[in-house]
Every structure is written in C-alpha cells, then in structure tokens.
Structure 1
Amino acid sequence: MRCCGRRWGRLAIACWSASHETPHAPHPRRPRRGITPALADPIAPSDPDDPIARQFVPDSAELDFGEDERADPIGDEAHAPVEGIVHRYPDRVLLKLTDICAAYCRFCFRRERVGKGSGLLQPKALAAALGYIRAHPQIWEVVLTGGDPLVLSARRLAGVAAELAAIEHVKILRVHTRVPIAAPARVTPALVRALKASGKAVYVAVHVNHSRELSRDARRACARFVDAGIPLLSQTVLLRGVNDDARVLGSLMRALVECRIKPYYLHHGDLAPGTAHWRTGIAHGQSLMRALRGRYSGLCQPTYVLDIPGGHGKSPIGPQYLRGDAGCGYQIEDFKGQRHSYWKS
C-alpha cells in the first residue's frame, strides 16, 4: 500500500503552506509526513485555517519544544513487558502490530515513533506478544493499534485474528484506526471478514476530528463495518483551530451518530513534543462539553478525557454538575446552567 498519496499530498501541502512558515530544512526530530488523496482532496488551498490541512501539513510551531513535553507522553514504555504489548490496565492490552499509518497526524502522541521503525512487528516479537496474552488470563480485551493496524493486508490481519481466536480468555477485539477516513478503499469485504475471523466481539474505534473528514467514501467504508455487525466508536482529539468550537464539535458528533458511530472519547491534547499550538486549556474543553450537553442529543456526548503523563492512564475531566453532600443536600446544575436543590441521599 502507498500510504502517502504523494502527488495529491504534495499539491495540497504546497498550496496550503504558502501562507505558513513551514519548516522545510532537515530536522532530526521532525515526524514522518504523509497524507492520502482522501484527506488531501477536501483541503481548501486558499484557506490558511483549513481544519484538515492543519492536522497534516507541517508548521514551524512544531519546532518549539516545551519543557513539559515528552517523547512518550502517555507512558507506553513504562507498561511494555514485551515488544508490541502495552499492559496499563489489568483487563486489557494494546497490541501494536505496526508503526505505519495511512496518513501522519502532526499532533500524534506517538509522533516520535510512528513511521520511523521497521514497519511491522516481526514474527518473533509477535509470537512473544501473543505468548504474553496467553499467559495472562485476566486479559479480557485486546486492542489492535500501532501505527494503524488496518494498513496491514487482510491476510496478515486474519492470521493475527486466528491466533487471538484460540485464546479463550480474550473476549473482545478492538481496533483503533484512521483508515476508514484516510484510505476508505482499504475497507474491503476481505478486511472486514479478517477481523470477524477472530470469533470475538469486535469493535472498531475510528479517529475523526472534523466533520469534513467524513466524505461519501469514508461514510461507505464505515457502513461496511456496521452492516457486517461490527459496532463503531469514535475517538476525537480536541485541537485548537480544528474543532475547539461548540458548533464545529457538535456538527462532528452529529455526523458521527448519523454514520452509526457512537462518540466515545474526546481526548485532551497530549504533551508530545512540538504540539503546544494545538492544545487548548482544560477549562475551554469543559466549556465545550457543557455546550454539547445543552444543545445536542445524549447520543452525541463523548467522554472528555486526559491521559495522565507518565503512564497513569486516562481520567475523565469533564465538567461537574453535582455539588454538596448527603448531609447538607446537593446542588445539581441543569443543561441551562441553572442550579437546583436535591436533598435525597
């Protein structure tokens, strides 16, 4: 697979970055660059604030590294007992099959690693990772990630699924991917069958940050999963200049639900090097969540989370609506921001 759509990508980058101080000189820490035709086509070259270009076109601000930023912002390495495995929570593991993506998000929390290694988890390392899963019966869920696992061939995915099918204590297979958005043609019947071959309950979490990413082809790709009985979830990163507006974020959540994708997580930006210009304040993120709750269906509500630096896991950081205690009673805030007393314990 050609992951970068070079001809379209160069055209979009050349047009859009004409109005930006984009770094072109070699830099030892510059992350991999790449964009697909599916993502490049909607870019408006004349718009300096294009929300898709902002996610994929390099900007000179990426060369500014904050003191609090780190190469491994969510602490994967602290929970990696063997290559390819991250075991942070007791009942689930990440299985990182590849460091390749269909397109490379500039704000990626693994930007220091993706697109820079050998590409695939090698057979010996994969065998050790599967052996680790077999040896830990508390593992109920395996999350395929990377990189993006859906850049792999259907044959290779089916092979991994078959190995997991033989592990009785694994009940759930979750896939984290941007492929239905970035390269929708890859979502073929063979690929869908490969995931279902595990015999497990399969969920696919799709990374989407703006409603314009949900092209007609992307919607069709997502429908192939849902029509085959694979539920879809969404993961969205809160990004300054992309979706940090209540109407923009609400439009995305509605578009996801219309595509039969349940909004799952809204991620606060991680402390990856050179990403400060994308991060918003937590208070602003909370205000967006309040706006969503007041104006949009419950189906459109993601959980706003922050990955605690150092590998301590995700915590919800959404706004609080309940104050007080059982002894003195509670004050509960409604969707209009008005407070009401509640005396029951």
Structure 2
Amino acid sequence: MKVVRFHTRVPIAAPERLSDELIAALKTPGVASYVVVHANHARELQPSVRAALARLVDAGVPVLSQSVLLKGVNDDAQALADLFRALVECRVKPYYLHHPDLAPGTAHFRLPIATGVALMRALRGRLSGVALPTYVLDIPGGYGKVPLTPGYLEPGGRTVRDHCGEVHAYPPAMAEEE
C-alpha cells in the first residue's frame, strides 16, 4: 500500500479527537496519506476546527475537502464562495462539490443539476482556481463520478462563453501586422 486516502468529518465535528498519536499514524513512512474533510458551510470552520486543520497541515499531511451542494444550506454562490475561501485560508484544497445523491430521505436537499452548473459558472468569476472544486455527480449504481461542468466552448469551437455568459470569438480577430 503506497497511498491512503481518509474521508472524515472528525476534524469538523470533533476536532479534539485529532490527537498527536492520530496525526503521527497518518505519517507512516513510505505511505502517502491524504485526509479529505467533509464540510458543507463556512460556519462549520470554527476556531477549534481551524486549529485542528492547521495541526494536520503543519504536520505535513495534505488535506483536501469535499462538500455536498445542499438546497437551503449552501445553494447560492456567496455561501459556496465563503466556504471555499475559508477552506483555502485553512490550507485545505476544495476538491469536490458533490451533487446530492438520490439517497432515501434526502429529497428536500436536492436541486437541479443545472442549478449547480450555474453556480460553478458564477464561482469561476469570483474565486481563484485554487479555491474551485470540481462539481461531480456520483452515478447511481456504482458507476463512478463524472464532472458536471459549464460548457464554455460553444459547438463548432469558434466561440467561447465567459463566466458572465458573454460570447467571444476564438481565436479573436487579430489586427494586421505592420
């Protein structure tokens, strides 16, 4: 085993459980360990959580995050921007923004994929690339994740659409060289 990836809410939900022993175990020689924290709103990143994340990063453990796009929780560009900026401030790379699964009892959190794609387009104009996760759908039935991205290149490949929705020629018309 050369790479281990731990997905957890421990640093978020119970930061006091991030002991020196646990951090030392994550630094097994010859094994690349990654911690992926699950956070859905910037309010979750309280001072104790930020301190726990700093301890992990300061110990040399790479930390990524994944979040779920949740109706009524983080389904607007400002809430997502606040979350992703706060994570980057904690030296955590926002890795995935998941479209909600079709799990029983979660219908009230679901929203159309088009809403998520529009939010990602809006975030592209607000955030550094370091702060942008990949918006993904985990295909039901165990078929894996696929990225859900806004279409920036228009059909035919001669025009591109920017994050504001404006269309531009590509390549742009060049002035004649003198």
Q: TM-score normalized by structure 1?
A: 0.48
Partner of 1:339: 167
2:126 alignment counterpart: 295
Match of 2:70 in 1: 239
SS of 1:218 mapped into structure 2: helix
AA aligned to 1:339 is V
Corresponding residue SS for 1:226: helix
Q: Any conservation in 1 of the 2:26–2:61 contact (CA below 8 Å)?
A: no
Whole-angstrom CA distance in 1 between matches of 2:112 and 2:163: 22
Deviation per CA, 1:283-306, whole angstroms, max 9, x where unpaired?
110111011101111111110000
Q: Do structure 1's residue 199 and structure 2's residue 30 form an aligned pair?
A: yes
Matched, 1:215 2:43: no
Percent of aligned positions that are identical: 62
What residue identity is the alignment partner of 2:56?
Answer: F
Paired residues, number: 172
Match runs of 1:41-52 below 5 Å: none
Residue 296 of structure 1: SS of its match in structure 2? coil
Gap runs ≥5 in structure 2: 173-178
Distance in 1, Cα, partners of 2:99 & 2:149: 10
Kindly report which structure 2 residues correspond to 1:139-150, keeping only aligned pairs within 5 A, or say none. Answer: none
Whichever of the two has the greater Rg, that structure is: 1
Pairwise CA distance, 1:189: 1.0
Cα RMSD of the aligned pairs, angstroms, is 1.3
User: Are 2:88 and 1:257 equivalent residues in the alignment?
Assistant: yes
Shift of residue 323 of structure 1?
1.8
- Secondary structure of 2:96's aligned partner: strand
Q: 1-side partners of 2:28 and 2:147: how far apart?
A: 33
SS in 2 for 1:315: strand
Distance 1:300 1:259 in 2: 11
Report the alpha carbon displacement of residue 337 of structure 1 after superposing the two structures with TM. Answer: 1.9
Residue in 2 that maps onto 1:306: 137
2:25, 2:34 → 1: CA distance?
13
Structure 1 unaligned regions, length at least 5? 1-169
Partners of 1:303 and 1:249 in 2: CA distance: 13
Q: How does 1:84-123 map to 2 (within 5 A)?
A: none
| 1:216 counterpart letter in structure 2 | P
Query: Quick one: distance in 1 between partners of 2:160 and 2:31?
Result: 41
